[in-house]
Amino acid sequence: MFLSEKNGVFPLNELDRGSAAVIAEIKAEPGGGRLAEMGFVPGETVQNGFSSPAGDPTAYLLGGCSLVALRNSEAKNILVKIIAEQKERCNI
Amino acid sequence: MKLTSFKQKRAAETRRLYLLGNPNVGKSTVFNAMTGLRQHTGNWSGKTVDAARGKYTYNDREYELTDLPGTHSVNSGFSEESVTADSIADGGQNAVTLILADASALKRGVALVLEFLENRNGGAVLCVNFCDIAERRGIKINFEKLSDVLGIPAVGITAKKRGDINRLKELIDKNYDSLSKGTAPRRSRSAPEAQLKRAGEICAECSDAPASNTACGLADRVLTSRAFGIPIMLLFFAGILWLTIEGANYPSELLSRLFGYIKPYLAACVPSPVKGILIDGIYGTVTWIVAVMLPPMAIFFPLFTLLEDAGFLPRIAFNLDRCYARCGMSGKQCLTQCMGLGCNAVGVCGCRIMPDEKQRTIAVITNSLIPCNGRFAILISLSAIFIGSMVPDHLAGLMPMLCVLILICLAFAVSWGASLFFSKTLFRGGEAVFAMELPEYRRPEILKTLAVSLITRTIKIVWRAILVSAPTGAVIWLLANTTVGGVPALTRLSMLLDPAGRLIGVDGFILLAFILSLPANEITMPILIMGYTAAGAMTDAGSLSNLSALLSQNGWTLLTAVNMMLLTLFHWPCATTLITIYKETKSLKTLALSFLTPCVIGISLCLITKLLANAVLLIV
């Protein structure tokens, strides 16, 4: 899978199914802080959960506790980096 | 006088509480449990679009509880107009905010508490819900420690348990005075990142959780998979429809027989001058509605509510989002349509969850393309009576179900088409997004759901239909029994409409029935029956089995039945929905478009089927 990787940072929509990453940065988005309101803030862990039958949108497991569905067009505004060692998981 | 002043004093002493929490932490359930109100709860975020208010008394003190819409951020939760107005009135003090969190997602709740303490005046109580589920997952929370670290009272509850709600009320009662004094925001605002990190630390300190996670279950992987996702959804829906049609059949027949049996006894008690209007007019219409509308609704809506409570509807929106994306809309429109399936007026209100103004307007306009339960019952009874009687017996149960399923799919397809049309023409611009929380599946409380759904939805809607239908029944009876030039007035009116009706493959009576049923869709069929019987074809159409014969006698063909169903799906919204649309949008343009869109679509579709039927006849 091609990743538009730069300093290990890439858009969330390129995260493989099942793998986890940490949010590095939220790019400016048209909704204005709406993603942050849903819980997408830098430092939060995010895991690609599953996709809809059409492949888009995708549901992401956010912080290990809530499941949020995003379209690829929205997910590309979220930049993530792969967690260094083991898959960090938060259950709380 | 004394009583008034006492009441005033009481009112002045009313203690105010706000209920704040992340989406889907059971706020509505806690609200209902505390106040005894029956606000409808749904397992999806955005269900509570209005700030609801309720009162309760504890320890002889009155509390007013305001339920705020679910949010991940304190500031957006308090941005609702109604709430801000309140907060300004008393300087944001003298109120306590009850922050609700999900025990399985404690970090989120703690982050919300931290944000609250940094930004708001007044005190807060942390209430952690769904402790039973968390316990089953092996999550242990030390509430005393949590309370110490956060500096506010904290309690763990299971909202379903009455004792837990009392414990919560007691805690609030004990701490209200000290909390409501109003303290200045504690610290300067910190970045959400730091807040989240701190929340994580606090949780690690105060709770103990196993290292596995359950949020991404097998159920989701199957229900949203490429191969099974959509077929499973259709099967579910078909199953519900089948249960409804099969299950409603018998009670319907029983009820109509019972009403038919009572009728002569009742008629004997009524003086003869008003016998016609009371018995044939009002009694006939009302009993028809009860016999034909009540059984399918009493089966369909509780079943649908179960799916809703289990958390299934957001998955439907998730699976179908691609269709909405193509139409320039958000998948959330699917939720408003599902609400519309219950009542279009409710669906129109629900359009507030749409992310922007353009999408909201389109969702409002296209909502009445989805059949509400009044029209739904017409579809079910027509397909059971007419389509069911046209096929061999062993298919009699299956065909009506397929027929209704196809019609519902058609309704959704047409609403996508209309949304696409509007987003490409009249309401352009804006990027459609779909950011929605998918709640965890929760086992619904089956008995309670069934009971509440039966009372709050079915009985209420049938009652409204009865209230509207009784006077309308009387008016229609008068029209049917007042002769103008030897012909009943109703027949005369329908003769006027007949050419227009014939043009689109129905007749004047059907058009008249749709026009006269503007107050409520439920009364379309009774009006139609009364019109036909006034024309002298039959004297008693009370029983369901006679209806098929009555319709055939009046020249109904397969084309008439199909077009009647198409018109049922697409004609115009009922008066209640129209009023709601105007109240919600304050726009005459939206109102006019909401009226005309289904109208134009319905007439066009009927013209097409008429042409097709003619073509088939020519070939044969």
The reported pLDDT for the residue numbered B527 is: 85
Domain for residue A92, yes or no? Answer: no
Domain for residue A62, yes or no? Answer: yes
The CA distance from B563 to B611, in Å, is 12
Pairing assessment for the beta strands B483-484 and B436-438 based on DSSP bridges = unpaired
* CATH code: domain of residue A41: 2.30.30.90
Domain extent for A45: 9-82
Q: Which of A36, A47, A57 sits opposite B434 (nearest CB)?
A: A57
Q: What is the mean pLDDT of residues B102-124?
A: 80
CA nearest to B373, candidates B305, B311, B323, B444: B305
pLDDT band for position B427 (cuts 50, 70, 90):
confident
Q: Give me the residues of B, 20-49, that contact A with CB < 8 A.
A: 22
pLDDT band for position B3 (cuts 50, 70, 90):
very low
CB contact under 8 A, A73 and B431: yes
Supply the mean pLDDT for chain B. Answer: 80
The reported pLDDT for the residue numbered B600 is: 95
Domain for residue A91, yes or no? Answer: no
pLDDT band for position B357 (cuts 50, 70, 90):
confident
CA nearest to A59, candidates B436, B42, B218: B436
Question: Domains along chain B?
Answer: 2-208 (3.40.50.300), 229-619 (no CATH)
Question: Which ipTM value was assigned to this complex?
Answer: 0.84
The reported pLDDT for the residue numbered B60 is: 85
Q: Which of B108, B204, B435 sits opposite A66 (nearest CB)?
A: B108
Domain for residue A45, yes or no? Answer: yes
Q: What is the mean pLDDT of residues B450-454?
A: 76
Left if phi > 0, otherwise alpha if psi is -120 to 50, otherwise beta: which for B438? Answer: beta
Tally the domains of chain A: 1
Pairing assessment for the beta strands B207-208 and B483-484 based on DSSP bridges = unpaired
Which residue has better confidence, A24 or B545?
A24
The CA distance from B511 to B495, in Å, is 10
Q: What is the mean pLDDT of residues B595-601?
A: 95
Task: Take residue B442 and report the two structure tokens written for it.
Answer: 């929760």
CA B272 to mean position of chain CA atoms: 43
Q: What is the mean pLDDT of residues B277-287?
A: 83
Which backbone phi and psi does B107 adopt, to 5 degrees?
Answer: -55, -45
Domain for residue A24, yes or no? Answer: yes
The CA distance from B564 to B411, in Å, is 14
Domain for residue A75, yes or no? Answer: yes
Q: Cβ(B125)–Cβ(B98) under 8 Å?
A: yes
CB contact under 8 A, A53 and B230: yes
Domain for residue A64, yes or no? Answer: yes
The reported pLDDT for the residue numbered B21 is: 82
Question: Does residue B318 belong to the interface with chain A, where contact is any CB pair within 8 Å?
Answer: yes
pLDDT tens digits along A11-41? 998 888 888 898 888 887 655 567 776 778 7
Domain for residue A57, yes or no? Answer: yes
Question: How far A27 CA sits from the closest chain B CA (Å)?
Answer: 15
Question: Does residue B62 belong to the interface with chain A, where contact is any CB pair within 8 Å?
Answer: no
CA nearest to B113, candidates B171, B198, B15, B216: B198
Strands (E) across chain A are located at 9-11, 20-26, 45-51, 58-62, 66-70, 78-82
The reported pLDDT for the residue numbered B283 is: 86
The reported pLDDT for the residue numbered B191 is: 67
Q: Which residues are CB-neighbours of B588 under 8 A, at least 6 positions away?
A: B582
The reported pLDDT for the residue numbered A33 is: 65
pLDDT band for position B122 (cuts 50, 70, 90):
low
pLDDT band for position A74 (cuts 50, 70, 90):
confident
Residue % of chain B over a pLDDT of 90: 15
Q: Please report, for chain B, how many H helices and E strands are present, in that order.
A: 29, 11
Residue % of chain A over a pLDDT of 90: 4
